Chain A
């Protein structure tokens, strides 16, 4: 007798702010199979390269994902700069790192909040989002917008930081760090949190590699792999070490993100203190021609851009591979065998960003 039932999850669902649709085949309370259905957020963004020139595209790629928009633009600009044979001036490189890491901090804080909400710990959700408002304040005061910063242009950055702003930012960073340290016990040492996350959604070290996981999902399974180790932008001059955990369960991924937030605060502080003096942009020698690829580390993992140009103002083709796309196969491997109430926790543990994935 076939006792399986199909339960649809999404596209409009309270735990996920985004329209992800997964069909779960369940037997009693146990999930036996998960089938994702995509396409609700598809905007046909890559086709816009035909109607917008390569400078305008910066603003389009920022709008692939509002949570890590600065990092998308950073990757795109680096790819075009590689093709043109120019490098952004040192101060611009440092400023890019500062704003990228601020985005990482706010993305991870947002995730930690949503994750707590997924297992029903709503007060912690509010605490993390309260801390996050400090990052939003920094972004608004320095870049003029809370979420989409529009800082990067091909060849450099558009805004500078003055000494007053730097001192004020250092004070705000202290507040963020203190807030995080206060929440360490509540989030990482709590019995309830451990009950809901330890041993749930385990991804073994070999599977993580075979299925091509990236980002905190990969690092939570014990691989020391982070694009920032390759030292794009100013990371080669900063003191960067990847955060790694070995258990491969939801708790390990949570811990990776928690510690990465603290490390990102360190990186911003270091970059602010060592900001070199230089121009903000370089002059571009004409239109791009040829092909190039670039990889950066997003809060969710490795982001990959391929661009091809033919010497005119419009690019010929752009291709984006986002971290969530790489993390869906590992997610589908984690789900079978879990209990239905654990599904939101496991789905959130890869930090899915559907708008990136479907573009």
Chain B
């Protein structure tokens, strides 16, 4: 592996750019994601930059209930992101449908549409948990680049079909 290539990989991990897609959350999770950027939590001091453009992003944060209308949008955004990429699924709704699970328009979680690396449970999770989720996603990203061991794998509680992922929180 060349020196320059290595530098690029290291800098991507040092300063991950995130894109946030709201799949139809109740806003509870959204405002907690936004709160991570504000002076109290200020993730920018760690080099995390929020971008609006999926083509610039390394980590995708998904919140809210995935439904039949927005799953295509979610899939498109995921496909537009360059490799390697990591996905963090945030909030009870996004993990499994949450309180809306019985409703007719709901898919049971983002992991049914795209591969998810980290699950952050909570309704809504606290900003600390979300930051922790992003940090865990960086380990997953490093593993995908061949720069570290794969993070400890865990199933989501109560869901045998869930893909292997690191549980946070």
Contacts and interface: CB of A to CB of B under 8 A. Distances in A.
A14 interface: yes
Interface residues of A, number: 41
B67 interface: yes
A133 B23 contact: no
Given A42-B67, A42-B69, A355-B26, A147 B103 contact: no
Name the prevailing secondary structure of the A interface residues.
loop
A69 interface: yes
Interface residues of B, number: 38
Interface string B68-107: 0110010001000000000000000000001110111110
A44 B105 contact: yes
Given A14-B52, A19-B22, A40-B69, A60 B99 contact: yes
Interface string A43-73: 1110110011000000110011111010000
Contact of B100 (A40, A48, A66, A67): A48
Contacts of A42: 24, 67, 69, 105
A319 B77 CA distance: 33
Nearest to A114: B34
A353 B22 CA distance: 13
Nearest to B104: A44
A125 B31 CA distance: 13
Given A42-B105, A43-B65, A130-B38, A63 B26 contact: yes
A19 B73 contact: yes
Contacts of B114: none
B40 A66 contact: no
A43 B22 contact: no
A45 B101 CA distance: 10
A40 B27 contact: no
A11 interface: yes
A18 B52 contact: no
Contacts of B35: 129, 133, 136
B39 A126 contact: yes
A110 interface: yes
Contacts of A69: 26, 28
A51 B38 contact: no
Contact of B124 (A39, A44, A132, A147): A147
14 contacts: A17-B31, A41-B64, A41-B65, A42-B24, A43-B24, A43-B100, A48-B102, A63-B98, A126-B38, A133-B40, A353-B27, A355-B24, A355-B25, A355-B26
Given A41-B70, A42-B69, A63-B98, 10 more contacts: A18-B27, A40-B23, A40-B70, A41-B64, A44-B106, A51-B102, A66-B25, A67-B31, A133-B39, A136-B35
In order of increasing CB-CB distance, the 5 nearest A-B pairs are A66-B28, A14-B52, A41-B24, A129-B38, A44-B103
